[in-house]
Amino acid sequence: MKNAVQRFGKFLSAMVMPNIGAFIAWGLITALFIEKGWFPNAKLATMVDPMLKYILPVLIGYQGGKLVAGERGGVIAVIAILGVICGSNEVMFMGAMAMGPFAGWVIKKFDKAAEGRIPAGFEMLVNNFSVGIIGMILAIIGYYLIGPVMTAILTVLTAGVDFLIGHSLLPLVSVFVEPAKVLFLNNAINHGIFTPIGGEQVQAAGKSIMYMIEANPGAGLGVLSAYWAFSKDKRTKDSAPGAIIIHFFGGIHEIYFPYVLMNPVVIIASIAGSACAVFYYSLFNIGLTGPASPGSIIAFLTMAPKGSTLAVLLGVVIAAVVSFLVAAPIIKMSNGKSLEEASDSVQNMKAASKGIAKKAGEIKKIVFACDAGMGSSAMGATKFRNRIKPLGLGITVINSSVDTVPADTDVVVCQEVLADRAAKSAPNAQLVTIKNFLQDEAIDGLYNKLAQGREEGAVSVKEQTEQASSETEAKPMVMVKEGIKLGQKSVSKEEAIAAAGNLLYELGYVEEEYIEAMQERERTVTTYLGMGVAIPHGTGDAKNKVKKTGIVFVQYPDGVDFGDEKAYLVFGIAGIGNEHLKLLGKITQVIDSQDNLDKLQTAGNVQDVLDMLK
């Protein structure tokens, strides 16, 4: 349950965080140019309302759609969200958070249903019209259904906040917010709930207290200061000043979470400090013009309305002083965890909040990702899928381009050089980095982890086998005798790739430009898989240079140097859709046996090779 909440919160946060700069821009425009701003300007102030009503919800929705279904998901989300915005008189941040991912999910389902059914040459037509037509339908649904429903929900939430403010109960929210910050390690509450409600309040009053509840750096400052003054552990005491600078000026609140976890009772201090500050802000009707993110004192004061800077700062001081006074005696009397142990706890919880499964039974989808999502990742996925099949865990194993990893992925396996792109594409997934797809210690470690937890959430081997069979239903064969060359002399890596590319071109599988794309792919990340096998293929951008699916095979008995490794078997690949996956799966099964590898490396008859691979 905790992991599910954390992942949901992380997903909400992932829609908002990339757009914080836009929120800041809107907050600054509001603070500077509205009638009560620092530099009132009626013309510039006209930007405030469109940014709030249209730009910010559209950006949030686009990000939500993109998280689910890539660029197409983002585009259709923008179309759909327009209906939600026009169907309500309220600011539709929450509507965007609902419609964006939903629109992405719809187009993702359509693409899956249409896969392999679009006639050659009609792909662009179908892709564009599907987004346009489905987007129009979703916009209509948003206008008549989602917009009004979200308006009702927002009305209820706003009424609840007004009730808390009117009865001086808003400080009680800190009882939930402060533990959530430490346990969930994300901004789900701040940007999923407070920011939308805050937008409504800013529109009406030019400021909102909602932006001050989670972002106030005072409570963390008080806790860290108390450790600096009273900690019995020298290492903890010495580390506190640096943590104060990072937390207070850098706005990275996570830095003080390990200090709280050393003595969990210290959470009372941050709750008390935050609650007192909220009470003060509520009592004197103080608010910010926009979200302060990250929660740095600099960002916090920047969003203060004209004439309220000192009043806003006083609330930070109140939070820090109260938190310090409550934490001091707790720290004096307690011998909690070491800082190292607490930091480990934070890392474990942070991993959980990002979707990293702690048990094998919690892993449902594994994606092998490479640059184009066509060759090496497909073979890696096939090999691993077959490897875990006997475990009967019901885990989906697929391949993908590193830039279009599905949002519901639990584990991404990719080469080290692609790690940054994979992390950006799948921020909620565990990342397993490898050197090659066929033989790597990290893959063995992932397998061992799954094998150890096989009894959790397992399905029958029969069911798993049926699933795998359905995934690899008969596809056209894509290897012919003319595409097999044996006994070739050893050449450079570039020459071997060019030879495979020329063979693909001569057989009519690709356009000539695809050959250079194969070289570019190798310069980006190696196509050497391990076990003496390389599968050069083009970049993702070169897929439009593929005329039909084909695979060629070139044997080099003396090997070709691929970096520090030698490839004896070179498979050149050009694929349209998933037509080549069945043959890749067969190749993977064949080369998984050392005896078969030896036969392929020494084979002198083309038909024997074709019989082994088809």
191, 370, 414, 580: the active-site residue = 370
Paired strand residues for 368 = 399, 413
SS3 269: helix
- In the annotation, is 537 catalytic? yes
Residues 6+ apart with CB under 8 A from 109: none
> Do 454 and 524 form a contact (C-beta atoms < 8 A)?
no
Q: How far apart are CA 581 and CA 590, in angstroms?
A: 14
Catalytic residue flag (residue 167): no
One-letter amino acid identity for 51? M
Catalytic, out of 191, 247, 537, 580: 537
Burial degree of 39 (CB within 10 A; 0-12, 13-18, 19+): exposed
H/E segment holding residue 400: strand 396-401
H/E run at residue 149: helix 147-166
Question: 3-class SS at 589?
Answer: helix
119 upstream amide cis, omega within 30 of 0: no
Q: Which residues pair with 567 in a beta bridge?
A: 560
| Sign of the CA dihedral with 468 first, then 470, 475, and 477 last | positive
Q: How many whole angstroms separate alpha carbon 26 and alpha carbon 96?
A: 17
Question: Amino acid identity of 28?
Answer: L
The edge-to-edge listing of strands for the beta sheet with 411-415 is 396-401, 365-370, 411-415, 430-434
- The interaxial angle of helices 56-86 and 123-141, nearest 10 deg, is 70
Contacts of residue 155, defined as CB under 8 A and 6 or more positions apart, other chains included, come to 90
The helix or strand, by DSSP H or E, that contains position 558, with its residue range, turns out to be strand 550-562
List of residues 6+ apart from 245 with CB closer than 8 A? none
| Whole-number Cα distances in Å, 218 to 12, 101, 198, 214, 300 | 25, 35, 20, 10, 11
Tokens standing for residue 246: 């990072």
Local structure of 566: helix, strand or coil: strand
Q: For residues 55 and 62, give the distance between their C-alpha atoms in angstroms, rounded to a whole number.
A: 10
Helix axes 234-248, 218-230, angle to 10 degrees: 160
With b for 16 or more beta-carbon neighbours within 10 A and e for fewer, the 537-551 pattern comes to bbbbebbebbbebbb
Catalytic amino acids? 370, 537
